Structure 1
Amino acid sequence: MSDTAFAARLKPRLAVADRAAREAGRLLLAHYGRREGLAIEQKGLNDFVSNADREAEDAIAAILTPAFPGDGFLGEETGASAVEGAEFIWCVDPLDGTTNFLKGAHNWCVSIGLWWKGEPVLGVIYDPLRDELFAGAEGIPSSINGVPIAVSTIDSIDRTRLGIGHNHRVPPAVFAADAERLLSAGGSFSQVGAGALMLAYVSAGRVDGYFERHMWAWDAVAGLALIKAAGGRFAPYPSGETSLAAGGLVLASGTSLFGALSDLFAIA
């Protein structure tokens, strides 16, 4: 299949994902204004879910599934459906940065990615508070609200501001060692509690790269597709024989910096 033909298959999916992300964002903003009424559950260490997350995922599925009934769906809150044998798989986090959302902070988003034959090929990440919709796909350059974006051209770690993510699936000592490597090499980092949003920021050159030892597919796929469509690179995801549902390590940046980051964090 030619690149042009594949992009033509992705274009209608990108338009529907845009609509789904905005609808989820509308619902989330309504809940954000009355957070005290949310039903909140703790799924794990510092990991929460509310009825806002679930309603937003239901809204996304209600738009994507009828439009593309042969596609699979892998959502953070509802798991996988119709994945077996599907050519395309939607990877959806209806609310990345739930803790920020529940505390009334900024830095949360809707993330909708598309997976095809072992590759992230489409991404839509929507920040409702700032009304910024990041969108891009194979053959369709990344943009924010239709305005083209590109990854950073920084090429040295001592000029780098990196996003680094941490979760309790990774030992604290490992995270601390990674941060020390970066700081010792002269770099700096940010951590905002919403990995999908940070990947979107990489695609726009707002940070130079992003590194996290483990991310679920619903958080990673959209952002990785955006970064590629914005001219960047990322390490194979998930690596080796790991399944999509199991997630994996994420390292992504502009092309000029990618080799140095790979060496710094010893990523083959």
Structure 2
Amino acid sequence: MADDIERRLAFARDLIAAAGELSLTYSDRVGTLTVTSKGVQDVVSEADVAVEKLIKQRIAEAFPSDAFLGEETGHSDFPGSTGIWVVDPIDGTQPFVSGLSSWCISIAYVRAGVLEFGLVNAPANRELFVGGRGLPATKNGQPISLHPGTDLTDGLTYLGCAARIPADDIIPVFARLMRRRGMYLRNGSGALGICDVACGRLLGLVEPHIWSWDCLGGIAVLQAAGGVTNDYLADDGLTKGNWLVAATPATYDALVEVLRG
């Protein structure tokens, strides 16, 4: 099985690099792209569709017995599948179409309910994060480490939210963080936010509900770096999404209280 996972990881490294190159050809002409709305503050561009098509097709060719879950094309599973790839072709489409750099490609591989590895490529920032079970957490091939802070006043917390979350549900989270004198940011990409925790830029990330394709790649990197999360895949988090706290061990409990009350 170890050889099987290593083979998929090596394949994923090449694949996410190719996907990054393709995505940049679209970002270079972002003003001309076709963009449609999936809901309030939720858009999809032709770049999302093209990048996911590339990833899905190459996975199907290389590992035809593997299942696939992508933000744009959904869930393709079947009896006897040998694991599932979870993909967001462009996490942070709104920043992407706005000409910002806070977007990425996220690829994760899950087998038998276990997150084996994840990769997050932020082409506009020239950063590739990789991590997984038994693997080091790296950025551009170099080891990364968590923030040394022990209190929410020692750094920044990523406060994630989406338009589908009622304001009355997120405002109390904001208030609890402020009462602890924590400070927050949000860049529009959950996967990148989690990687920012993994490499010590942030103390943690909290989000009332996040989809698996938006976070599993980053979670794999964070866990490899020594960070902790709630059991995200519980209660069918893979297909239904879940709440998420992704943090340093020292700040995890405090951030659970911030999110959950």
Q: TM-score range by the shorter chain?
A: over 0.9
Any idea what SS the aligned residue of 1:124 has?
A: strand
Shift of 1:116: 2.3
Q: How does 1:1-268 map to 2 (within 5 A)?
A: 6=2, 8-239=3-234, 241-266=235-260
Offset, 1:243: 4.5
RMSD: 1.6
* SS of alignment partner, residue 24 of structure 1: helix
Determine if contact 2:212/2:237 at 8 Å carries over to the other structure: no
Stretches of structure 2 that go unaligned for 5 or more consecutive residues are: none
- 1:111 shift after superposition: 0.5
Question: Counterparts of 1:21 and 1:14 in 2: how far apart (Å)?
Answer: 10
Give unpaired runs (5+ residues) of structure 1: none
Q: Is the 8 A contact 2:197 2:203 kept in 1?
A: yes
Q: Mark the CA change 1:238 to 1:169 in structure 2 (over 3 Å): closer, same or farther.
A: farther
- Aligned partners of 1:263 and 1:243: how far apart in 2? 20
- State whether residues 160 and 188 of structure 1, in contact with CA within 8 Å, keep that contact through their aligned partners in structure 2: yes
Contact 1:94 1:110 in 2 (8 A): yes
State whether residues 208 and 259 of structure 2, in contact with CA within 8 Å, keep that contact through their aligned partners in structure 1: no
Could you say if the C-alpha distance between residues 45 and 137 of structure 1 is closer, same or farther in structure 2, counting changes exceeding 3 Å?
same
Name the CA distance, whole Å, in 2 between partners of 1:36 and 1:262: 40
Question: Cα offset for 1:205?
Answer: 1.1
For the 8 Å contact 2:131–2:224, the answer to whether it is kept is yes
**Closer, same or farther: CA 266–140 of 1 in aligned 2, 3 Å:** same
Using structure 1 for the length normalisation, give the TM-score.
0.92
The one-character-per-residue Cα deviations of 1:143-180 (angstroms, maximum 9, x if unpaired) are 01110112223211222311111102211121111011
| Shift in Å, 1:84 | 4.3
Return structure 1 stretches of 4+ with deviation > 6 angstroms: none
- Residue 28 of structure 1 and its aligned partner are, at CA, apart by 1.1
Deviation at 1:242, TM superposition (A): 3.2
Identity of aligned residues (%): 34
Measure how far apart 1:22 and its partner are: 1.2
Distance in 2 between residues matched to 1:83 and 1:48, nearest whole Å: 29
Amino acid of the structure 2 residue aligned with 1:200: C
Question: Secondary structure at 2:110's aligned position in 1?
Answer: strand
Instruction: Please give the alpha-carbon distance, in whole angstroms, between the structure 1 residues aligned to 2:206 and 2:257.
Output: 13
Please give the alpha-carbon distance, in whole angstroms, between the structure 1 residues aligned to 2:91 and 2:153: 30
